[in-house]
């Protein structure tokens, strides 16, 4: 089915025309702009109509940015619009939260085009507000509301990781030991979250510092709080990574100490029994001329000599401060 033969409503997951008072109604055509103050059109990345629609309605670079299979967070001005790639924690059923979901945005003064790969719950919040007649009246308010949802969910995940790390630290302090396997999941989660949260922090700081007619002073004030939450979450993740590395180092040191103590104990035992083994091996040879073969007290004498040798070995090790 081609783009031309599909109904207009099928060209996106949803599309709204939004008025300054927060009213919204479904868009009636496939144009980029609508009759209201703002038109918001939302796509699935795997929609076969997306590429043709973007090529027909958007500049080449933003159109290509929206359909990229892999993205990293970015914030770039292009002509009269804004290319914005964001990441959010993955709260979809059966998914790991650290497999962050991507959201691609092209924003102009009167249009927003958003593209997702998997469900983004923060975007669902904006849609629910829109359906309830409380739509954001301009692009700045839209971005502030979207970032608020992303930031709060990210903060909750980071707080959960914080609690888990504190539990591991308390366990180490109480038991002086830690299971390497217990560190695997939180370390992986923190590393994977930081992979996108670090460049996202930079992109959001860039967004906050932009001087563009797309964002008013009121918009900047509304954006500051969710962006600050994102920055704090990133800094918390960096601190958690260091704490997990310290726990891992402590666990390695504990294992090395235990291995060293075991090796030392084996060395002491070997040092004590080495002369004893030599003597028993020497007197155990079955050749002519071995003394004591016909003397009934020979075995008792040999046993006593072995005991004395063992005691002398222990005394010598203590004197050398090796025991």
CA dist., res. 15 & res. 32, Å (int): 10
CA dist., res. 115 & res. 42, Å (int): 6
In a structure prediction context, what are the per-residue pLDDT tens digits for the chain, which is 323 residues long?
Answer: 333 444 444 567 899 999 999 999 999 888 999 998 999 999 999 988 899 999 999 999 999 999 998 899 999 999 999 999 999 999 999 999 999 999 999 999 999 999 999 999 999 999 999 999 999 999 999 999 999 999 999 999 999 999 999 988 887 776 666 677 788 899 999 999 999 999 999 999 999 998 889 999 999 999 999 999 999 999 999 999 999 988 887 777 676 667 767 776 777 777 667 776 776 766 666 665 667 666 677 667 667 777 777 777 777 767 766 66
Cα–Cα nearest to 299, from 284, 319, 317, 278 = 284
Q: Are 236 and 266 in contact (CB under 8 A)?
A: no
- Percent helix, strand, coil in the chain, to 5, is 60, 15, 30
Beta strand 38-44 with 24-26 is unpaired
CA dist., res. 6 & res. 51, Å (int): 14
CA dist., res. 163 & res. 160, Å (int): 5
- Backbone φ and ψ for 198, nearest 5 degrees, come out as -65, -50
CA dist., res. 88 & res. 42, Å (int): 17
């Amino acid at each position: 089915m081609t783009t031309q033969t599909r109904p207009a409503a099928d060209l996106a997951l949803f599309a709204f025309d939004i008025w300054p008072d927060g009213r919204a109604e479904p868009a009636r055509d496939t144009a980029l702009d609508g009759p209201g103050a703002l038109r918001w059109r939302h796509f699935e990345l795997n929609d076969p109509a997306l590429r043709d629609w973007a090529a027909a309605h958007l500049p080449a670079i933003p159109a290509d940015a929206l359909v990229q299979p892999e993205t990293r967070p970015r914030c770039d001005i292009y002509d009269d619009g804004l290319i914005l790639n964001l990441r959010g924690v993955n709260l979809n059923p059966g998914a790991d939260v650290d497999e962050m979901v991507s959201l691609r945005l092209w924003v102009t003064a009167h249009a927003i085009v958003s593209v997702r790969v998997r469900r983004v719950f923060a975007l669902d919040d904006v849609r629910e507000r829109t359906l309830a007649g409380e739509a954001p009246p301009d692009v700045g308010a839209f971005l502030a509301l979207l970032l608020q949802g992303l930031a709060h969910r990210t903060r909750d995940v980071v707080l959960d990781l914080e609690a888990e790390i504190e539990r591991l630290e308390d366990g180490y302090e109480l038991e002086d030991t830690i299971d390497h396997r217990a560190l695997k999941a939180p370390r992986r989660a923190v590393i994977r979250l930081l992979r996108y949260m670090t460049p996202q922090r930079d992109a959001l700081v860039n967004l906050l510092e932009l001087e563009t007619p797309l964002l008013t002073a009121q918009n900047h004030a509304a954006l500051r709080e969710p962006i600050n939450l994102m920055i704090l979450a990133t800094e918390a993740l960096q601190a958690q990574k260091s704490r997990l590395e310290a726990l891992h180092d402590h666990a390695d040191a504990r294992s090395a100490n235990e291995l060293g103590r075991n090796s030392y104990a084996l060395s002491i035992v070997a040092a004590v029994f080495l002369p004893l083994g030599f003597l028993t091996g020497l007197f155990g040879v079955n050749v002519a001329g071995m003394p004591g073969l016909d003397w009934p007290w020979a075995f008792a004498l040999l046993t006593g000599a072995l005991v004395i040798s063992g005691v002398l070995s222990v005394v010598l090790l203590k004197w050398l401060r090796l025991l």
